[in-house]
Amino acid sequence: MFRTRIKICGITRSEDALAACEAGVDALGFVFWARSKRAVTPDMIRPIVAELPPFISSVGLFLDPDADEVKRVLDGLPLSMLQFHGNESPAFCRRFGRPYLKAVGMGGPDPRAYAAQYPDAAGIMLDSHAQGQAGGTGAAFDWRQTPHDLGRPLILAGGLMPSNVREAVRIVRPWAVDVSSGVERAPGIKDAQAIRDFVAGVRMADADASTREPSR
């Protein structure tokens, strides 16, 4: 049975990171965009990253940073992957020697044409925000309009929560899902039970589709 990967973004606290790991997620996201309600600094999350168990990826989210900003974060943190949500060029995204995800806002340009500009991205994240925004709005787009011919693994984001993720995964069959506000009690403060329920919803969707060929 295919297992949809799960990323919890907007982590700001150690207890939330550990709750997510215990629930069975694959990756944690940390937001390095100062205007976000979930913004963190390397000093804030260094202890969190240091205590992550094996095989959990740590992902740094950026929105139109300058190169020095990204380098400062990487100098102090062993991040596994970078995630870019702005108008960063393909050359900029690849210059840091880390795998990267490129977010494509479904409220922006044609996602197929946009994704084609980033052929070396580890994955393409489809979110509900307009291009150049960070996401985390809690709004979903019409999953039935999801393009699957992006040439890279598809990560689904935007408006996901425990109550709808099973349907979203059933419709889209993405490589991975990404959630932030959908498992929160307040911006940056996660709810451990909501995380467990979210993971359970994804696993139920995987079981639903165990006899189907996924389109990823």
**Taking the complete model, does pTM exceed 0.85, yes or no?**
yes
Pull the structure tokens for residue 15: 């207890």
Model confidence band, residue 60 (pLDDT cutoffs 50, 70, 90): very high
Give the tens place of pLDDT for each residue, 162-199: 999 999 999 999 999 999 999 999 999 999 999 999 99
Residue of 9, 16, 21, 178 marked active site = 9
CA distance 177 to 172: 10
Virtual CA dihedral for 103, 108, 111, 113, nearest 10 degrees?
-110
114: number of Cβ within 10 Å: 17
Active site annotation includes 64: no
Pull the structure tokens for residue 11: 């982590």
Neighbour-count burial of 68, counting CB atoms closer than 10 A to its CB (0-12 exposed, 13-18 middle, 19+ buried): exposed
Active site annotation includes 9: yes
Domains of the chain: 5-208 (3.20.20.70)
Residue of 16, 127, 178, 206 marked active site = 127
**24: phi > 0 → left, psi -120 to 50 → alpha, else beta; which?**
left
